[in-house]
Amino acid sequence: MMIYLLTMVLFGVGIYGVLRQRNLIKMILGIIIAEHAVLLFFILVGYRLNGRAPILSPDAPITNMVDPLPQALVLTAIVIGLGTTALLIALAMRLYGKYGTYDIAKIRELRG
Amino acid sequence: MSKERTPGMSVIVKTVTRLTAWLIMLYGINIVLHGHVSPGGGFAGGVIIALSFIHLILAYGKEMVLKKLSEGLVEVFESTGALVFLGIALLGTTAGFFFKNFLPAGEPFHLFSAGTIPLSYIAISLKVWAGLFAIFVALVLLRIDKEQG
Amino acid sequence: MNQSAFLIPWFVVVPLAAAFVNSLIGGRIRGLPALLACLTTFSLLGLSLVATQFVRINTTLVYHVGGWKPPIGIAMVLDGFTVFMLVTVNLVAFAIAVYATDYMERYTSKAMFYSLLLLMLSGMNGVIVAGDLFNLFVFLEIAAVASYALVAFGTERHELEAAFKYAVMGTVGSLFILLGIVFLYSVTSTLNMADMSLMLAGQRDHNLILMVSVLFLMGFGLKAALVPFHAWLPDAHPSAPAPISAMLSGVLIKTLGVYALCRIFYNVIGFTPMLSAILMFLGTLSMVVGVLLAMGQRDLKRLLAYSSISQVGYVFLGIGLGTPLGIVGGVFHLFNHSVSKSLLFLNSGAVEYATGTRDLKVLGGLREKMPITGATSFLASMSIAGIPPFGGFWSKLLIIIAAVQAGYLGYALWAVIVSVLTLALFVTVFKDVFLGEPQHVWQGVKEVPGRMQVSMIVLALLSMVSGLLLLPDVKEAFLRPATAIFLEGTHYAQVILGDI
Amino acid sequence: MVELYILLILMIIGSVVALEVKDLLSSVVALGAVGLGLCLTFLVLKAPDVAITQLVVEILSIIILIRATLKKGLPMVATGGWAFPSVIGVGFGVVLLLVAIQCFPDLPKFGEPMLRVSQHYLDQGLKQTGATNLVTSVILDFRAFDTLGEVTVLFAAALGVLAVVRTRGRKKLEQAGAIADE
């Protein structure tokens, strides 16, 4: 219960970063942090108290394993996040090339 | 800071890199091949292999690595990896279903077991390695000083 | 499992394979990428038309990927609404691929463009046939990532900026969706949508489900550009190359936003009166705000982008009503808007291609120089504005009648007002661009190349005759199965799992 | 479970530092600490596959981020004067927490997942797929289609990066009629 709340705090910090920061790199950092929180939450949901990693061993049968499904999905989500982050960084670097700054206040020319 | 200075970092770094880069790569391949019996797998292994190349780039400078491994070649690897994975999935349709694991499951805990899983992992690692390396090279080659216009 | 279900994976596999092959060898052979893209989209259109035959009798086809039965493995589902969306998406995609063969001559790296286009298409098809929540998320990300890159394809400064804004907001939306999926997984311990719907049966009024609804509303609302979350759209859609603008405005926001939202809310979480009220309110708000903001624009494509926000509002109003007539109207409007808004974006691309500008104050008198573009643009404008013989009129009429029947007179009134405003808007636009004295600057303007004309004519004919979809026979085959999915609601679960 | 709390609190502190410190390079390094904390947390939670992947992915993204921030004369990040976004940001966080407190009693208790579908993976995974690493059996057999999607996302991202870094997106216009009047 408490641990879930702390994860939500981490998510909130990340979203706060995206909304609050006026620097492109910091916005990307905010997204990465929020994503970390979601991934952590997913693993927490599948955790079993005193569980074992879901890898069988040749000698002894293991009964108390954690849920393997969230782990598989989180693996997928990590790689998706990496792809998105790389694209965001490439865009930010190109914008730096055009404007010479990462500061949003100096970049935003377009009207909302 | 003379012009004759070779690209990359100092001799110490280069020597250490020459020793470690291959170890890192071998470790990555090991992780890929044992993905179905131990933790790791195609993604982690692919990223580790990509990191070994990035390690070389960081130490030796981009020219030396790109001479051996051009960007076009990397793209070919990437597409091939993706196509092989899709091909494995499509071969499953011959056994009845898309993505059917059509090879026998084999003996557990052995390298050659679990049907198509190790093959898929090899294809994925090829794709992940090439994709990430392409991203890194693109971002390194990008001139990030202020452009004209 | 039904034998004809073996059709389903090809909707994803064909464009994926084409994209991979394209990036492998497309750069080396001149003309291959364009040909490959046209062939792929054409075969997909054929496949989706074949698929309409299977759902005629209200059957649902389920494909078990890997041969694992659904709660264990991933299911792909083909039902009425799926087929409807597949036809819409692949139709527009085919027209756009043909158009792009000429238009993209102005850009560099055509092979890359077509690869990204095909990846985006496979992402959308994957979202549409997904029967599994996480699978839906993954394919949504494919489409989204490809679209971020495509918006920045011109790599000018405003394009990069719009793409960055779009990518940041889109990624945050995806995070909300992922968080919602995690919550749903933790209470149901499954990811299959049908199974999840059954598991949620007893707990639809829990606080948690409310929170999940809000998360999904924010996430998919960001993708669909509902009004409080619309800030990225007026930048992103005009910045892309014209075929991509048409794709984004025509089908992407509807697939990733409207379709996914409807599928999850109607078939998984369950449709509640509160949700209906929220959807109708947000839809009407989008409708009004979109058209008002469109009024003041000088940039042709930006104006069209604002108008998209407004028209998606109609779709949400119709679907949010929840009555059979409203849903038919909403779904039908989705089709009409896809066709005519893509066409308008293609027209704006043609104008920009010929004149080099899209500033309404500068353009004028192009009708005689560009007869095809002018005529198709006229048809599309009339369809969007809701003039009687065109499809847009019938769908708006259905939505308004449904709103009156359900007793929401206020919403019906707003729909009428916005419709009138849209008419005024598009009449002005048409006059500014095509009518009036031809200025001497545009004396040398020539009509755009042939393939661009062909695809515009095809879409114009479609927008003209789409009213025929309401004829009883055609409706039974196409619109009725699509709307039946909404009405069966969470009964969806029994249909899917009954097939297993 | 104490180590979980400690790690999480460290991660929260790290992310606040990463977002608030004025030097970009420092904030990227702080993010690296957060990622490492996440990796350790995955290990504590018995998810070795995820931990390995998270570790290497974190290294890669930190390298790319450092590459983006290593520039001469990059100014310190300016803050302040942006009251409205701050209020929205903090307000969003507070609302999220309040809603979350209301919702979490509906979740299964921590450490006792329901394991409806997963029980099948645990029981039958080895027999049906032959992979002793059950996470692998899920990734590449039971849910292999997701993995195809994931590979495609990475493919799209790599293509997208290559598309975005082109210096010239458009060919030069040579047509006579194409007069941009600016």
> Which member of B78, B86, B101 has the closest CB to residue C66?
B101
CA atoms of C4 and C61, how far apart (whole Å): 8
Helix (H, G, I), strand (E, B) or coil at B91: helix
B103 found inside a domain: yes
Chain segment C185-195, per-residue pLDDT in tens: 888 888 888 88
- Within 130-169 of D, beta carbons closer than 8 Å to B belong to 130-133, 135-137, 139-141, 144-145, 147-148, 151-152, 154-155, 157-158, 161-162, 165, 167
CA atoms of A47 and B113, how far apart (whole Å): 28
Sign, CA dihedral C154-C227-C320-C473, equals negative
Average pLDDT over residues B43-60: 86
D100 found inside a domain: no
> Which member of B47, B75, B89 has the closest CB to residue D57?
B47
Average pLDDT over residues D120-141: 80
> Which member of D142, D169, D176 has the closest CB to residue C153?
D169
- Residue C104: what pLDDT? 83
**Residue D131 pLDDT > 70, yes or no?**
yes
- Residue B143: what pLDDT? 60
Question: What Rg do the C-alpha atoms of chain A give, in angstroms?
Answer: 19
**Residue D6 pLDDT > 60, yes or no?**
yes
Bridge partners of D133, per DSSP, are A55
D72: its two tokens: 């001469």
Q: What share of chain D is helix, strand, coil (3-state, %, to 5)?
A: 70, 0, 30
D102 found inside a domain: no
CA distances from C250 to B32, C110, C258 (A): 42, 22, 12
Contact (Cβ atoms closer than 8 angstroms) between residue A27 and residue A21 = yes
B6 found inside a domain: no
| Partner-chain contact D129 B109, CB within 8 Å | no
> Which member of D60, D148, D158 has the closest CB to residue B78?
D158
| Partner-chain contact B83 C13, CB within 8 Å | no
C393: its two tokens: 């009129």
> Which member of B109, B142, B146 has the closest CB to residue A58?
B109
**Residue A33 pLDDT > 90, yes or no?**
yes
Parent domain of B61: 11-141
The Cα diameter of chain A in Å comes to 66
Q: Counting Cβ atoms within 10 Å, is residue C157 exposed (0-12), middle (13-18) or buried (19+)?
A: middle
CA atoms of B73 and C217, how far apart (whole Å): 44
- Closest to C120 in 3D by CA, of C100, C144, C97, C95: C144
B149 found inside a domain: no
Backbone angles phi, psi at C344, to 5 degrees: -65, -40
Q: How confident is the model at residue B4 (pLDDT cuts 50, 70, 90)?
A: very low
Contact (Cβ atoms closer than 8 angstroms) between residue C468 and residue C393 = no
Q: Distance (Å) from the C-alpha of residue B11 to the closest C-alpha of chain A?
A: 31
Number of domains forming the structure of chain B: 1
CA atoms of D15 and B38, how far apart (whole Å): 32
- Closest to B61 in 3D by CA, of B145, B141, B146, B144: B141
Q: Which residues of D touch C105 (CB under 8 A)?
A: 171
Q: Distance (Å) from the C-alpha of residue B97 to the closest C-alpha of chain C?
A: 5
D63 found inside a domain: yes
CA atoms of C68 and C414, how far apart (whole Å): 49
Q: How confident is the model at residue A84 (pLDDT cuts 50, 70, 90)?
A: very high
Backbone angles phi, psi at A105, to 5 degrees: -60, -30
**Residue B3 pLDDT > 70, yes or no?**
no
> Which member of B135, B138, B147 has the closest CB to residue A97?
B147
- Residues constituting chain C: 500
Q: Distance (Å) from the C-alpha of residue D68 to the closest C-alpha of chain A?
A: 6
| Partner-chain contact A94 C167, CB within 8 Å | no
Q: Which residues of B touch C130 (CB under 8 A)?
A: none
D97 found inside a domain: no
Helix (H, G, I), strand (E, B) or coil at C299: strand
- Residue B110: what pLDDT? 67
Q: Which residues of B touch A52 (CB under 8 A)?
A: none
D42 found inside a domain: yes
C192: its two tokens: 């299959």
Cβ partners under 8 Å of residue C97, min gap 6 = C34, C37, C38, C40, C41, C114, C117, C243
Q: Which residues of C touch A77 (CB under 8 A)?
A: 178
**Residue B88 pLDDT > 80, yes or no?**
yes
**D91 close to A (CB below 8 A):** no
pTM of the predicted model, to two decimals? 0.92
- Residue A87: what pLDDT? 92
- Residue D179: what pLDDT? 39
CA atoms of C165 and A27, how far apart (whole Å): 10
DSSP state of C76: E
Cβ partners under 8 Å of residue B86, min gap 6 = C13, C16, C17, C20, D148
Least confident among A25-39, B38-52, C434-448, C450-464: C434-448
Least confident among C37-51, C148-162, C458-472, D149-163: C458-472
C83: its two tokens: 């087929």
Number of domains forming the structure of chain D: 2
Parent domain of D145: 115-165
**A98 close to C (CB below 8 A):** yes
D157 found inside a domain: yes
Query: Which residue in this structure is represented by tokens 């859609």?
Result: C237
CA atoms of A96 and A103, how far apart (whole Å): 9
**C427 close to A (CB below 8 A):** no
DSSP state of C381: H
Q: How confident is the model at residue D81 (pLDDT cuts 50, 70, 90)?
A: low
SS3 for C319-331 is HHHCCHHHHHHHH
B4 found inside a domain: no
| Partner-chain contact A76 D139, CB within 8 Å | yes
Contact (Cβ atoms closer than 8 angstroms) between residue C365 and residue C437 = yes
| Partner-chain contact B79 C64, CB within 8 Å | no
CA atoms of A33 and A29, how far apart (whole Å): 6
B100 found inside a domain: yes
Contact (Cβ atoms closer than 8 angstroms) between residue D134 and residue D121 = yes
- Residue D109: what pLDDT? 80
| Partner-chain contact B142 A97, CB within 8 Å | yes
Q: How confident is the model at residue C443 (pLDDT cuts 50, 70, 90)?
A: confident
CA distances from C316 to C232, C255, C385 (A): 19, 13, 17
D76 found inside a domain: no
Q: Are strands C75-78 and C61-64 parallel, antiparallel or unpaired?
A: antiparallel
| Partner-chain contact A66 D45, CB within 8 Å | yes
D123 found inside a domain: yes
Q: Distance (Å) from the C-alpha of residue B83 to the closest C-alpha of chain C?
A: 6
- Residue B64: what pLDDT? 74
C263: its two tokens: 């599928």
Contact (Cβ atoms closer than 8 angstroms) between residue A43 and residue D45 = yes
| Partner-chain contact A86 B135, CB within 8 Å | yes
Per DSSP, the residues of C218-252 read HHHHHHHT-GGG-TTHHHHHHHS-HHHHHHIIIII
Cβ partners under 8 Å of residue D96, min gap 6 = A8, A11, A12, A15
Looking at per-residue pLDDT, the higher value among D55 and B103 belongs to: D55
**Residue D178 pLDDT > 70, yes or no?**
no
C481: its two tokens: 């199965």
Average pLDDT over residues A103-112: 64
Find the residue in B nearest to D74 (Cα): B145
**C202 close to B (CB below 8 A):** no
- Closest to D157 in 3D by CA, of D60, D54, D71, D18: D60
Average pLDDT over residues A16-40: 89
- Residue A109: what pLDDT? 61
Q: Which domains does chain A have, with CATH numbers?
A: 2-49+65-107 (1.10.287.3510)
Find the residue in A nearest to C133 (Cα): A73
